[in-house]
Amino acid sequence: MNKLLVITVLVALLALSAESFRVTRQTEEEQGTLSKITDTVKSYYDEAINTASGYLDSIRGLKLEEKAKNLYTDTTTVVSTYAGIVQDQLYHIFYQQQ
């Protein structure tokens, strides 16, 4: 009988202590209007940043920056050549040899 009493007390103590170890259910909190608006704005902002990053990556893939530098270099070379020719012609027009 003593053994039965001891076992009953131990089981009762374990049952009571086990109840304190229960994990409380986490309920989903209702979002207010401001938090919904904030979440929506954040999602649009993230989507815009991702889209812009994608466009930049595709532009870099086309190597447009390198092509623009080459075009600038070629254009300045040609313009400086023709500017020198025009300068020589103007010099000879205004300072003719006498």
User: Given pLDDT bands bounded at 50, 70 and 90, which one contains residue 55?
Assistant: confident
Q: What is the dihedral of CA 72, 73, 77, 79, to 10 degrees?
A: 10
Both structure tokens of 29:
């909190």
Q: What is the mean pLDDT of residues 54-64?
A: 81
**For a pLDDT cut of 90, what percent of the chain falls above it?**
26
Q: What is the pLDDT of residue 70?
A: 92
Instruction: Please state, in angstroms and rounded to a whole number, the distance separating the CA atoms of residues 31 and 27.
Output: 12
Burial of 31-62, coded b for 16+ CB within 10 Å and e otherwise, reads eeeeeeeeeeeeeeeeeeeeeeeeeeeeeeee
pLDDT at 14 over 60: yes
Full-model pTM:
0.38
Both structure tokens of 6:
């001891």
Q: What is the pLDDT of residue 17?
A: 63
Instruction: Please state, in angstroms and rounded to a whole number, the distance separating the CA atoms of residues 44 and 50.
Output: 10
Sign for the pseudo-dihedral over CA of 16, 20, 23, 26 = positive
User: Given pLDDT bands bounded at 50, 70 and 90, which one contains residue 79?
Assistant: very high
